[in-house]
Structure 1
Amino acid sequence: MPSHPNGHPGRAALGAFLRSRRQSLTPEDLGLDLTQPREGPGLFREEVAHRAGISVAYLARFEQGTATQASVAALNGLGRALMLDAHERDELFRLAETPPATRRREPPPEHVSIGTAQLLTAMADVPAIVLGTRDDVLAWNRLGHRLIASHLPFESPLDLDTRPNRVKMGFLDPRLRETYRDWKVEAQRAVTQLQQLATHRSDDLALMRLVGDLVVASDEFAAYWADPQPAAPTRGIRELYHPEVGDLDLRFEILTLEGSEQRLLTHSADPGSVSEERLRDLAALIPA
């Protein structure tokens, strides 16, 4: 293949495609602030990068044809940010030389097994929540619900239309956010877990939609998403505040359920601690 003056010809074509699409959009298309002066047509590179959930430097490398690889997650983010239709998305992936088999997959709805549901009921004294692959709340026991989201109906995880998502609630639900005394720590943990998931489920449409919704709805989430961090812990101390009993310092454990990607999240208090007493007080408030 003959050499290309700017390096790999496919990457140069990808860069030209992205620049052209960015310049064809207007701020009005995305509902952006029009007060900032603009010297030319189209969107600022920063605006596209923010909505795609990638760094400005990464987008610049794409547009300049110097990016050595394009992840499916990044391409899906760019597709959303640039408002590409199905044909344009296919062209984006073709130029990025991404295998078609890894592009998109609509996962089936997740549900807990009968055994897991019975386990939750048996763990009445332990706040417990079953999280799905993308941090959807699939089920919780009464104390887990009372601890984390008593303002939501207990049955909400059963309905796919109302099923809570732990990350989405943290960034968009002020009531849940106030539960965490150190929100920055929790925010980083939540985003890091999604980033880990995206590395091996980059074809997951539901995951891409979740990330896309959060990037658009929360500038804070977008900033965390653009700054990858080391692996999220599966155990540790969580500092909580509950309006009915006050501060709680609880140990959390995240256990992967065998045969699935579902996880059991539990909280417990050290024996003899004030938090143990307050957790018992909280349990006593649950209607019989």
Structure 2
Amino acid sequence: MNMQLESLGAYLKTRRDRVTPDDIGLRTYGATRRVPGLRREELAQLAGVSAGYYTRLEQDQAGLASDQVLDALAGVLRLDPAESAHLHNLARRTTTSRLVRPEPETPHPRVLALLSSLGESMPALVLGRRGDVLAWNRTGHALHAGHVGFDAPGDPDRRPSVPRMFFLDPLTRDSLRNWDELARIHVGYLRLTAGRYPDDAALAELIGELAMGSRDFSRLWAEGDVADCTTGPMLLRHPTVGRTDIDYQVWLQPDSPDHRLEVYTPRDPASADALRLLAGSLS
């Protein structure tokens, strides 16, 4: 199933609904309101555009919007940098675009050399555009998916998919004590990626599969949130070393901007001991 990706108008509507008059200091004088957030005419006035033009934007009937208008709307809607980038990506999308089957992703030799240089003391993996694992070291494999074959990333047809593991694999879900927090970030990042690559047929299929197979994914996707995935906590309940608290850090790759090297570092001495124990068990 291909998931129909959102339009500029749909995204503006979800962002408008979440901003209340109180959030931006707009007086309502106790009047009864029928919308959860700002009215269209209120947002239009604050952004310096006509109510009619903004209405056409939400209805996807206004054609291309200028960067100046988009920046004004982003300011009123209090969008963060990732949300604002998504707004601009949606505005650039053409109605005539068609889904295209992408070629299998191949990690750049320099990122593989960097992964190898980390050794096994620091768990790490290389992620592709859609969250497929393109490569990992043995500690990264043992930390995340010891139940999956270590050589699976080398075969495009067998590559582990982090989004699929998150939402469709009970073992992965049970191993994450802060699954709710991380799931929300994963959905937001997939939405950001979908805005960047609206023609990616494999990405549309992935989103459709997750929406059909996971009520949690479908619920989070419907909320319309966008998030970048850069750094944060990951609290594990690991089957081998037990409770382990780590930070993930994403290193973007200049040679292949779609690919990310994700490394994991301990948040406390006990977790550092757990990672050393995990690495030692692989020798």
Q: What residue in structure 1 maps to residue 264 of structure 2?
A: 267
Deviation per residue, 1:48-72 (Å, 9 max, x gap): xxx7587xxx6xx9xxx995128xx
Compute the displacement of 1:110 (Å).
0.4
- The alignment status of 1:180 with 2:176, answered yes or no, reads yes
2:108 to 100, 106, 113: 113
Whether the aligned pair in 1 keeps the contact of 2:189 and 2:226 (CA below 8 Å) is: no
Compute the displacement of 1:174 (Å).
0.9
Distance (whole Å) between structure 2 residues aligned to residue 192 and residue 180 of structure 1: 18
Equivalent residue of 2:233, what SS?
A: strand
The one-letter code matched in structure 2 to 1:113 is H
Q: What residue in structure 1 maps to residue 196 of structure 2?
A: 200
- The alignment status of 1:68 with 2:59, answered yes or no, reads yes
Compute the displacement of 1:193 (Å).
0.5
Distance (whole Å) between structure 2 residues aligned to residue 176 and residue 183 of structure 1: 9
Q: What residue in structure 2 maps to residue 157 of structure 1?
A: 153
Deviation per residue, 1:67-105 (Å, 9 max, x gap): 5128xxxxxxxxxxxxxxxxxxxxxxxxxx9542x2222
Compute the displacement of 1:194 (Å).
0.3
Q: What residue in structure 1 maps to residue 236 of structure 2?
A: 240
Distance (whole Å) between structure 2 residues aligned to residue 188 and residue 157 of structure 1: 25
- The alignment status of 1:213 with 2:209, answered yes or no, reads yes
User: TM-score normalized by structure 2?
Assistant: 0.66
Q: What residue in structure 2 maps to residue 48 of structure 1?
A: none
Query: Which is bigger in relative contact order (C-alpha 8 A, separation at least 6)?
Result: 2
CA 1:205/1:244 → structure 2, altered by over 3 Å: closer, same or farther?
same
Which runs of 5 or more residues in structure 2 are unaligned? 14-55, 62-92
Q: What residue in structure 2 maps to residue 126 of structure 1?
A: 122
Q: What residue in structure 1 maps to residue 187 of structure 2?
A: 191
User: TM-score normalized by structure 1?
Assistant: 0.65
How large is the Cα RMSD of the aligned pairs? 2.6
Distance (whole Å) between structure 2 residues aligned to residue 156 and residue 53 of structure 1: 29
The one-letter code matched in structure 1 to 2:128 is G
Seq. identity, %:
35
Whether the aligned pair in 1 keeps the contact of 2:266 and 2:275 (CA below 8 Å) is: yes
Whether the aligned pair in 1 keeps the contact of 2:133 and 2:160 (CA below 8 Å) is: yes
Equivalent residue of 1:226, what SS?
A: helix
Whether the aligned pair in 1 keeps the contact of 2:188 and 2:226 (CA below 8 Å) is: yes
Which runs of 5 or more residues in structure 1 are unaligned? 1-29, 31-50, 71-96
The one-letter code matched in structure 1 to 2:160 is P
Aligned length: 204
Distance (whole Å) between structure 2 residues aligned to residue 198 and residue 279 of structure 1: 34
Deviation per residue, 1:235-263 (Å, 9 max, x gap): 12211111111111111101111121100
